[in-house]
Structure 1
Amino acid sequence: MAATCPCCSTVNTICFWGPRREVWWKRPALLVCCLPFAGGIPAILWLKGGSLQAGFWIVAGVLFAAALLGLVVSAIGCNACVARILGDL
């Protein structure tokens, strides 16, 4: 793992499984997978927020946090962090 990667400690804590295969296409795939969640969840909460149950808010918050982590890792993380978050694809 890269010693200068700011994401390694967080990714290693959340993604407790071992290292995964590092390939070039995982970084753009992680970015493309996280963008709809990072943009869509706040839009849904803003449009329908008053009529939604508390459970939906909790699930939406967890998904939004995961999407933000994916965006940050795809932007500034090392290849090992990207591979660990994306898993065995």
Structure 2
Amino acid sequence: MDPTTLLASLLSYVLPMLPAKWAADVASLGIVLAGTCAIAARHWPRPKDGSKWLWLYSLVNAIGQNAGHAANADDAAAKASPPKT
């Protein structure tokens, strides 16, 4: 099952249980969070392998839906070149 279908089925299960005002607030906050992460991912260069910030960078890119579409040169270079030994 792809992530979009999984998220849609999860939301269709959870949102009817919430009052309409809360559901609108949850959806709005999710949109703001995704947009903020997309902007941060656009300007945040990829940390070096083994960095303690790499997990946070990956999380921000995942929430911001930036996987495979990074605009910064470090991400493009990291995927294009083999690891240096």
**TM-score where L is the length of structure 1:** 0.40
Greater share of helix: 1
Q: Which has the larger radius of gyration?
A: 2
- Higher-RCO chain (CA-CA 8 Å, sequence separation at least 6): 1
